[in-house]
């Protein structure tokens, strides 16, 4: 379990660094995809509650240091998304295209909803997506489109990203 958490966290933090440094070039109308959310969803769905939430929490904290968000903002969002995904763990079979697209899209919407809930609690320091702005929908669609490819790549790394008893 610790090995899985360590590798997942490293991958998630790596994705965060990549998003901040490299993904400007693939942004659509200034909106870059959130690959770390896709990785988190995959890890949480495959491994369950503890692995997903701990990896999400640590990588979210790292993201908070790189962002101007309040410390704990991304940590909370990622932990919460990991919990929700882990609840679905084993409920359905993840095919190659359709379900990853849905998970990527819905995961982004969930992120927006959790940010909105935090905004209600903590006020103006929390930035939220506007449902009327095109940014949220571009990001959700972008994540949805990329999800099948990301899930496919993660499947190749399942030996290090999945706990042993889950693989069996």
**Contacting residues toward another protein, per CB under 8 A:** 13, 16-22, 24, 29-32, 34, 36, 49-50, 53-54, 57, 60-76, 79-80, 83, 115, 118, 121-123, 125-129, 135, 139
| Beta-bridge partner residues of 28 | 31
- CB nearer to another protein: give 13 or 146: 13
User: Would you say 98 and 135 are in contact if contact means Cβ atoms under 8 Å apart?
Assistant: no
What gap in Å lies between CA 150 and CA 35, rounded to an integer?
8
Tell me the closest approach of the beta carbon of residue 128 to another protein, in angstroms: 7
For residue 6, give Cα distances in angstroms to 55, 61, 107. 8, 15, 23
- CB nearer to another protein: give 133 or 158: 133
- CB nearer to another protein: give 129 or 151: 129
- Long-range contacts, stretch 126-132, CB < 8 angstroms, 24+ apart: 126/69, 126/70, 126/73, 127/69
Tell me the closest approach of the beta carbon of residue 69 to another protein, in angstroms: 5
Tell me the closest approach of the beta carbon of residue 93 to another protein, in angstroms: 25
Tell me the closest approach of the beta carbon of residue 63 to another protein, in angstroms: 5
């Amino acid at each position: 379990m610790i090995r899985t958490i360590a590798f997942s966290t490293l991958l998630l933090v790596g994705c965060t660094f990549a998003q901040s440094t490299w993904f400007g070039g693939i942004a659509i109308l200034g909106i870059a995809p959130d690959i770390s959310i896709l990785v988190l969803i995959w890890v949480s769905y495959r491994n369950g509650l503890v692995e997903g939430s701990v990896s999400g929490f640590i990588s979210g904290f790292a993201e908070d240091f790189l962002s101007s968000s309040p410390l704990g903002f991304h940590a909370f969002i990622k932990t919460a998304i990991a919990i929700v995904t882990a609840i679905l763990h084993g409920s359905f079979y993840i095919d190659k295209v359709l379900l990853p697209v849905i998970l990527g899209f819905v995961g982004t919407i969930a992120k927006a909803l959790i940010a909105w809930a935090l905004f209600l609690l903590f006020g103006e320091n929390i930035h939220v997506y506007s449902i009327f702005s095109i940014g949220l929908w571009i990001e959700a669609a972008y994540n949805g489109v990329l999800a099948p490819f990301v899930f496919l790549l993660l499947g190749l790394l399942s030996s290090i990203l999945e706990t042993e008893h889950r693989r069996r």
